[in-house]
Amino acid sequence: MGVDLHNKICGVMGTGKIGECFARIAKGYGMRVIGWDAYPNSKLVEEGLLTYVDKDELLQKADLISLHAPLIMGEGGTYHLIDEEAINKMKDSVMLVNTARGPLIDSDALIRALKKGKFQAVALDVYEGEDENVYTDRSDEALSSSITARLQIFPQLVLTSHQAFFTREAMQAIAVTTMENARNFNEGNDLGNAEVKAK
């Protein structure tokens, strides 16, 4: 049996472009939206879309938590943003969604909590330990010991194979941006949306 989202609290962790879009969807369902971000966007507050809270308050209050943060390694980063301590702060009936980066959630901690019946639902399009199975057809194989196999046993978990970006329109946009960035680099122009890593 499902639950109504109307009048529930949605916690958005990472309120960049995608997190903002998700917040708008949640607001459309009649949810109250709270957000957590290292760099809060005051325009979203002024608009009345969401209210920023600290991480602990979001974890404790949210009925649905959706992750939209970048993966940042090191102290103060987002690696294992959702670990055992974070999970313990969540409501027992929480819904958890990750379409951002797999290592934002500690897979072992998630599995331990799933075994205890912690979540109403979990939806993962990305997950820690997915690398050996993403983009590989394993439909004729028995996955006996991988993270994928362990996650698939839980009836309250929906697992997709890194598909959130995989639409015709998104692939076209990626191709256009890639070509524009390559042209700008070649011509010595501003790189725009390109991610440039220092050497």
Catalytic residues: 101, 130, 162
HSE at residue 130, side-chain half, CA atoms within 13 A, is 22
Cβ within 8 Å of residue 130, ≥6 positions away: 102, 147, 148, 161, 162
Read off the tokens for 107. Answer: 């897979």
